[in-house]
A and B are shown apart, each in its own frame.
Chain A
Amino acid sequence: MGSCTKCGNPNVIIKRKASGQALCKDCFIESIEKKVKQTIKKENFLEKGDKVLVALSGGKDSVVTLEILNSYVERHIIELCAVTIDEGIAGYREEGVEIAKAHAERLGIPHKVVSFKESFGIDLDEIMKTEGHRGSCTYCGVFRRWIINRAAREFGATKIATGHNLDDETQAILMNYLEGNMENLAKIGPKTESNSEMFTVKIKPLREIPEKEIGLYALAKGLDIHLAGCPYAQESFRMEISNILKDLSKDHPTIMYSTLRGFDKIRPALRQELAHDYEYDRCERCGEPSSNRLCRACTFLEELGK
């Protein structure tokens, strides 16, 4: 079966089809940490003195993001804080919240749990019982971003780190390209920046790591992670694209890497042609930044009679 390409240990936990490498547990853990640190350096994600807010769900991606960023805290380069969002999905979210709390406590990281209910007066389970709702993921994405942006300001964070991985990034690139959403395509990138000071810069330290390797890293390190599927997950265009990419990757194991690398090359040209900085004002209802009279969260809340 072969042994570790780096150290010769016969107990291999991964064979990377993309590179031909076989790695033992220790060398695999080291390779992931090295790659994430390379991404952080290449993209200038962190500056000394940054206070980074991690959007911590308790799932593998956010727990690994927290774990690796914590090594920068240990070296006194940055400070960390974390926010966990309780959407109000009975029987699903509770375990993730507990896992997130335990990780923040273990690492001594300031942490808050913010619910949809306390922020908006309605939770996701209640929204899903309303007639004519727009679908769970639409509310979840918009409401989560609203809470994360606000939490970043409350913590005084200079950056927001999310757990987006290589699969997420390539799915987003393909989806937007295939649907012709070129303006959205131009917004994809390692850092999301706005000309408005009301938004905090978002960074994606795991964007070059395949999703499966993030799960493997968490298990190899013995990190407790929330392993469950959202009960509201449904067939979606993203899921179709995800399946296509997984199928393609079987015979073309470098396909996600090359998709991201190629996209990163054309991104500056795309941004120049297509991305435009919106003029932001404040939402009339909540005061959050918005290019319209109402932000999207408040538009949805008005529809829901809240």
Chain B
Amino acid sequence: MSFTLKIKDQVEERAIDGDLTIKDLLDDLDLSSETMVSKKNGEIVIEEETIEDGDEIEFIQIIYGG
């Protein structure tokens, strides 16, 4: 089981091992939910959303420092 993760121009295939939510993935990647908007299969979702086999997840950074 796997899903596609897109951040800016980087796209990668990642395996799903057990239950996985957007929040788990953000934590794994050390990304802050305060600065990111998450999309699942093109639709904006909240952090509790679960990731399933074949999903396309996109993280869009909307807050930059400075």
Instruction: Give me the interface of A with B, judged by CB distance under 8 Å.
Output: 1, 11-15, 22, 25, 60, 137, 211-212, 215-216, 218-220, 227-230, 232-234, 236, 239, 242, 246, 249-250
Cβ contacts under 8 Å, A215 to chain B: 37, 62-63
Give the residues in chain A near B49, CB-CB below 8 Å.
1
Query: Inside 8 A of B44's CB, which chain A residues have their CB?
Result: 13, 25, 216, 219-220
The chain B residues found within 8 Å of chain A, CB to CB, are 32, 34-35, 37, 43-46, 48-49, 60-66
Closest to A136 in B: B66
Which residues of B are found within 8 Å of A137, using beta-carbon distances? Answer: 66
Q: Is the CB of A230 within 8 A of B45?
A: no
CB atoms of B46 and A13 under 8 A apart: yes
Q: Is the CB of A212 within 8 A of B60?
A: no
**Which residue of chain A has its CB nearest to the CB of B47?**
A15
- In the bound assembly, the distance between CA atoms of A73 and B5 in angstroms comes to 40
Q: Are B37 and A216 in contact (CB under 8 A)?
A: yes
The interface residues of chain A lying within 8 Å CB-to-CB of B32 are: 246
- Cβ contact of A233, chosen from B43, B60, B61, B65, cutoff 8 A: B65
* Inter-subunit contact A233/B62 (CB<8 Å): no
Is A230's CB under 8 angstroms from B66's CB? yes
Known contacts A219-B37, A227-B61; is-contact A12 B66 (Cβ 8 Å): no
Task: Check A60–B46 contact: CB distance below 8 A.
Answer: no
Docked Cα-Cα span, A232 to B48, in Å, equals 35
> How distant is B58 from chain A, measured CB to nearest CB, in Å?
10
Residue in contact with A60 in the complex, picked from B43, B48, B62, B66, CB distance below 8 Å: B62
A/B interface sample: 28 pairs, CB < 8 A = A1-B46, A1-B48, A11-B43, A12-B46, A13-B45, A14-B46, A15-B46, A60-B62, A211-B62, A211-B63, A212-B35, A212-B63, A215-B62, A218-B62, A219-B37, A219-B44, A229-B64, A229-B65, A229-B66, A232-B66, A233-B65, A233-B66, A234-B66, A239-B66, A246-B32, A246-B34, A249-B34, A250-B34
Q: How far apart are A232's CB and chain B's nearest CB, in angstroms? A: 7
Residues of B within 8 Å of A232, CB to CB, are: 66
CA distance A12 to B34 in the complex (A): 17
List the 4 closest pairs (A to B, CB-CB), nearest first: A233-B66, A215-B62, A229-B64, A13-B44
In the bound complex, how far is the Cα of B49 from the Cα of A14, in angstroms?
A: 11
Closest-by-CB residue of B relative to A211 is B63
List 15 additional contacts besides A1-B46, A236-B66; criterion CB under 8 Å.
Answer: A11-B43, A22-B46, A60-B62, A212-B34, A212-B35, A212-B63, A219-B60, A227-B60, A229-B64, A229-B65, A229-B66, A230-B64, A232-B66, A242-B65, A249-B34
